[in-house]
Amino acid sequence: MTASSELRNDRAATTRDALLRAAERLLAESGIYAVSNRQISDAAGQRNNAAVCYHFGTRADLLRAIESKHREPIEARRQRMLTRIADSADLGDWVDAFVRPFTEHLDELGVPSWYARFAAQAIADPAYRDVVSADALASPPLVSTLAGIARCLPDLPEAVRSRRMMMTRNLLIHSCAELEGELAEWGPRSEWNWTDAADELTDAIVGVWQRSNAEPGSGAPRTHP
């Protein structure tokens, strides 16, 4: 590779990173549909209004790129946690392995960060929720974590398990988005931090999973049509 081609590649990588950072911030603050590619290019300091399309293609491809940028360090943390907990039969260990890699990554990003709020916007959007979720659910550490949760609750019906997983995802993402916004506004004056959030979310999600599938006050299993 020649020096000129290396320089072009470096410039392209720098431009791509600037576009990713600008897109993540703008989409987190305004929503998936409210931000144009031109706005992203302008925020990234690019005069070419087609820069987003050139570097990423479609809006779905841009969302995948943002999600992938964060997924890799999150899943590396999760794999290290899985190595430590091995074949644990404690539901709390597996839920912690679901929660803490995400909160630790957000903590490492510093203040302000936008990824949790971006993720909250993405999973709330019917057109893009499956795009982002599909790539995340292809991650082997995450698959192993979800399997660990399932092994701790072998009698939970599959339909209930699916709904509890949706509740778990939403509780994690939206709670973290709230804290991320609070930290962006208040910084060190915030009364909450990422370590506390991880502890509280783990406790809350364990409670979600352990709640029996019964009608309130009936003491009997709920039946489903």
User: Would residue 224 count as lying in a domain?
Assistant: no
Do 103 and 41 belong together in one domain? Answer: no
Do 15 and 104 belong together in one domain? Answer: no
Which residue range is the domain that position 101 belongs to? 63-210
Tokens of 1: 């590779």
The total number of structural domains in the chain stands at 2
What is the reported pTM?
A: 0.88
Task: Give percent of the chain with pLDDT exceeding 90.
Answer: 74
From the list 152, 162, 172, 150, the residue with the least C-alpha distance to 101 is: 172
Do 93 and 200 belong together in one domain? Answer: yes
User: Would residue 177 count as lying in a domain?
Assistant: yes
Confidence of residue 216 (pLDDT cuts 50, 70, 90): very low
Do 154 and 87 belong together in one domain? Answer: yes
Q: What digits encode the pLDDT tens for the residues 100-140?
A: 999 999 999 999 999 999 999 999 988 888 877 777 788 99
Do 50 and 67 belong together in one domain? Answer: no
More confident residue, 218 or 144: 144
Contact of 97 with 85, CB cutoff 8 Å:
yes
Over 90: is that where the pLDDT of 5 sits?
no
Q: What digits encode the pLDDT tens for the residues 6-22?
A: 555 668 889 999 999 99
Do 112 and 28 belong together in one domain? Answer: no
More confident residue, 162 or 5: 162
Contact of 15 with 51, CB cutoff 8 Å:
yes
How far is it, in rounded angstroms, from Cα 202 to Cα 206? 6
Q: What digits encode the pLDDT tens for the residues 169-191?
A: 999 999 999 999 999 999 877 78
